Amino acid sequence: MIKVGIVGGTGYTGVELLRLLAVHPEAHVEVITSRSEEGVRVSDMYPNLRGHYDDLRFSVPDTQKLGACDVVFFATPHGVAHSMAAELLATGTRIIDLSADFRLRDADEWGRWYGQPHGAPDLLGEAVYGLPEVNREAIRGARLIAVPGCYPTATQLGFLPLLEAGIVDASRLIADCKSGVSGAGRGASVGSLLGEASESLKAYSVKGHRHLPEISQGLRLAAGGPIGLTFVPHLTPMIRGIHSTLYATLTDTGADLQALYEKRFANEPFVDVMPAGSHPETRSVRGANVCRLAVHRPQGGDQVVVLSVIDNLVKGASGQAVQNMNIALGLEETMGLAHPALMP
């Protein structure tokens, strides 16, 4: 049985991680930390977990206890994982980080976007970006895995086939993305209140969102060169889900786009390329570790429109983290993640 530790288990990604691991046949959560909730029983904070974690209590972070685990997940704000990573890795455990601390390869760029110096720049060379559909082989056996963000997951998966095939103008990519309010986290915020977010739709961070450099980094690798990306996120009045509408201009109008996508993701257990003409909905992935894609070419012109939907807390966070754990530890990749989405 795999011994699991979780640092920072009181947020939405933390409770989602607990939900998924509760039914994982090869994993057992031994330690979960929270300085503010020390001593509180997990099932008291999260009644949906009653009967699964009745003896597990939050504790203050302890490197010795966490280091005794086979894998430690960080479900924390940025800046926490990079302050503890080196000490934990020295114990022999693996780290799977759901925060942004190890996603960017450039420490200076990370500092510009996150407003503080990177705390472990010497580990960036070892950190593996945990998008299995791109880095599966590097994830196998990795000690330090950076789980992609939610917007970057939906956007990269949608653009990958086009850029890898070199059939679009990589300098003119547009990502128009919508997210539910859980993407903002569990902390109290006026903008996430029901009275503020309900019956409203708004764009934000048009000047530049923190996920922009992460998306651009991945798309540059896929394209094998520079890219130009306009990324505009929006807040929608729903709890879970991301819908990314992606635009690109074809340079090869003879390409069979449906066949291209079906071939690229034919062996990917958590990417579903839908039939031609489909319009995937966020509710079709609610609670599931899957990205559903549909590719369109309106009026047969040179514009490609890709629709990409995920659950931001599952394939966009905790589900992908468990997927990475399975790969890194040599387990069946789909273990504990094969359940269908919730409908309605």
Q: Hunting for tokens 């939900």 — which residue is that?
A: 19
Read out DSSP for 3-66? Answer: EEEEES-SSHHHHHHHHHHTT-TTEEEEEEE-STTTT-BHHHH-GGGTTTSTT-BEE---HHHH
Nearest to 81 by CA among 66, 65, 59: 66
H-state helical runs in the chain? 12-21, 42-45, 63-67, 81-89, 107-114, 132-139, 150-165, 194-197, 212-223, 257-264, 319-328
Q: Hunting for tokens 């890219």 — which residue is that?
A: 227
Catalytic positions are: 150
Q: Measured between alpha carbons, how far is 204 from 201 in angstroms, rounded to an integer?
A: 10
Q: Hunting for tokens 């685990």 — which residue is that?
A: 69
In this structure, are residues 270 and 289 in contact, taking their beta carbons and an 8 Å threshold? yes
In this structure, are residues 58 and 42 in contact, taking their beta carbons and an 8 Å threshold? yes
Nearest to 216 by CA among 166, 148, 152: 152
314 burial type by CB count under 10 A (0-12 exposed, 13-18 middle, 19+ buried): buried
